[in-house]
Structure 1
Amino acid sequence: MGIQIGTGSAADTLKKVMVGTGSAAVAVRKIMVGTGSAAIQVWADTVPMGMDKSGNQSGIARSVWTLVTGWGVRAGRPDTVIASNGLQVKAGTYDIDGLITYVSNDRRRWVRVYQNSTLLWEVSIGGTFVTSIPITGAGLSSVACGEGDLLTVEVMNDGGTDAVAGGTNTYLTATPV
């Protein structure tokens, strides 16, 4: 949800609104238009966030859920906050998506996404030549988040040790709706 300031190539999306002066100024959380039950929200201070896996993560053990660690801010999403190996979001509603890419392609794999300690989504994909698992679908659309909620990813496999690939092929994003 965005309000554009300016026109043409000089236009930019409103990111922060302050009310008051000096040290007494406070941030506005949302802007509503209308009155009573007819009021609609036209702006909120939520921003798109995203993180890319930095480097490969080896040692993913068989039948053990493992937190994906070592994330960096995704290009084009400079307001991202990464804490405790997850996206730390502002209060708002988000569509969550991503991709987990593995170094090899020879075993069954599971991926799940948590919001704090609540499981939002889980998938299992198996068979030869499975290297990428999209993070998308039911449970990840219009997710209501509280201030400071943490979105994390865990992985597991069913044979030997495994490795999650780094770079832009493994990522998690949260986009305000």
Structure 2
Amino acid sequence: MIYLKLFWSFFQIGLFSIGGGYAAMPLIQNQVVDINQWLTMQEFVDIVSISQMTPGPIAINAATFVGTRVTGLAGALAATAGCVLPSCIIVLTLAYFYYKYQGATLIKGILQGLRPAVVAMIASAGFSILCLALFGNGQLIFPIGQVDWWAAAIFALCFLVLRKWKVNPILVMSGAGVAGILIYRIL
């Protein structure tokens, strides 16, 4: 029964994560942390970090990790299949209709209307992770006395390096990981 639950949870994520991996993060968080409590919020943030460093989409990497954590290899297969199946069905269906009606103004209007919603979902997930990293919670509570100033410094430096000098994100993540090891484990 747990395999069906893993499949169904990630099927819903795959079905409603319009806009890709970043847009799926709030959905993954809701299913994995809030509803099923397979992971804590801290473990969820760790999954997001690991998923960024490994090849492949975030949702599929998260499904594989959660499935493995819950029931092993069979759970990983069930969760990953649940995550991938809706996309396959939706993409095949949309491709058919898009090529048939690609000049229609209705289709163009739908796509333009979806863009702000996707941006809002990405911003929401990013803001929750930023709050967890800086304040120790993923909520709209900002206890200034509990700010992790090292995390704030790493965030600011990474943001600056990414925006100003356009450094490869993999190098920035690697540097942030090394800085985290030095600050939180050695110092």
Q: Which has the higher helix share?
A: 2
Q: TM-score, normalised by structure 2?
A: 0.22
Q: TM-score, normalised by structure 1?
A: 0.22
Q: Which has the higher strand share?
A: 1
